[in-house]
Homo-oligomer: A and B are copies of this chain.
Amino acid sequence: MENYCFGVDVGGTTVKCGLFQIDGRLLDKWEVKTNTSDNGSHILPDVAESILAKMEEKSLKKEEIVGIGLGVPGPVDEHGVVPVAVNLHWGRKELKKEFWELTGINTMAGNDANVAALGEMWKGGGEGYDDLIMVTLGTGVGGGIIMKGKIVAGTHGAGGEIGHAPVNPDETESCNCGNVGCLEQVASATGIVRLAKAEMAKCPEEKTKLNPQYLSAKSVFDAYKAGDDMAARIVERFGEFLGTALACFTCVTDPDIIVIGGGVSRAGQPLIDVVKKHYQKHAFQACKDTPIVLAQLGNDAGIYGAARLVLD
């Protein structure tokens, strides 16, 4: 009986692994260090060894495993091939094939942000829905689009790359991607700090709880919750950019729900409220009440989604 599956979230410093029942119950999770030496050639063998060891520890046979899902930081095509994954020092890699050869177990692979969106659909903020847009507000802005329960990978592996939607025609600095005016430049943790610096430079004499030496997305939201006027203007600006961008995205795919995750989303419901206010102002009539909710799986979204990949 195939009752179990593994979800693996390969990151630049650690690989997170989870053993799941096929109903979504997480039975065990652990981490493996990411060894990026020798062009990252040890990563897959290390993970395979760790999974096979876990199977031995739990007395699981191959016949009991539906498969292993891998989420990786890079584009992944429908054949489970990665053209390049900079953070892992990988060039082209046939993930699905290589991992099958290492383990003898069916393997599926997807981009990490897309896989996290699938995880949130399965057991997180989007549970019960099968069409969603997920936005991950971290150091950068990632995203994932799920339609009819499946990841939208896109023709060039760029489905859900909403962090690079052009949203700010007044921007003068370049984004990491090379373009100018991306959502990531105003809605990521670093983007919020940029907005804060700009606002503080505009009103240098204004009394504020914000300390220019210790600016972070968290400190901005903390000051906002404490009623600070300058923080309120910064958060409004962030909310306007993100809410308007979401209104743009929903008139493309018109999803059931929007899920917001990533470190910045720890600011909680006040963040959702300000984004929703601006979203509703700009969204097409039929989509104005599309729910906007917090992600619920935190750093585990990747392992949940990776496991879900093999359950179709």
Given contact pairs A155-B290, A247-B166, A284 touches B254 in the complex (Cβ within 8 A):
no
How long is the Cα–Cα vector from A200 to B293 in the complex, in angstroms?
46
Q: In A213-244, which residues have CB < 8 Å from any B CB? A: 244
Interface of A is mostly: loop
A164–B254 touching, CB < 8 Å: no
- Report A122-165 CB contacts with B as 1/0, cut-off 8 Å: 00000000010100000000000101000011111111111011
B285–A166 touching, CB < 8 Å: no
Q: How far is the CB of A77 from chain B (nearest CB, A)?
A: 12
Q: Which residues of B contact A251 (CB under 8 A)?
A: 158, 160-162, 164-165
Given contact pairs A158-B254, A254-B156, A244 touches B166 in the complex (Cβ within 8 A):
yes
Does A1 interact with chain B (Cβ within 8 Å)? no
Copies in the complex: 2
Does A287 interact with chain B (Cβ within 8 Å)? yes
How long is the Cα–Cα vector from A290 to B285 in the complex, in angstroms?
30
Does A26 interact with chain B (Cβ within 8 Å)? no
B179–A145 touching, CB < 8 Å: no
Does A253 interact with chain B (Cβ within 8 Å)? yes
Given contact pairs A166-B247, A244-B166, A156 touches B252 in the complex (Cβ within 8 A):
no
Q: How far is the CB of A281 from chain B (nearest CB, A)?
A: 8
Partner of A284, one of B152, B164, B253: B164
Does A185 interact with chain B (Cβ within 8 Å)? no
Given contact pairs A166-B282, A248-B248, A286-B161, A255 touches B154 in the complex (Cβ within 8 A):
yes
B181–A282 touching, CB < 8 Å: yes
Residues of chain A touching chain B, judged by Cβ–Cβ distance below 8 Å, are 75, 131, 133, 145, 147, 152-162, 164-167, 169, 177-179, 181, 244-245, 247-256, 281-287, 290
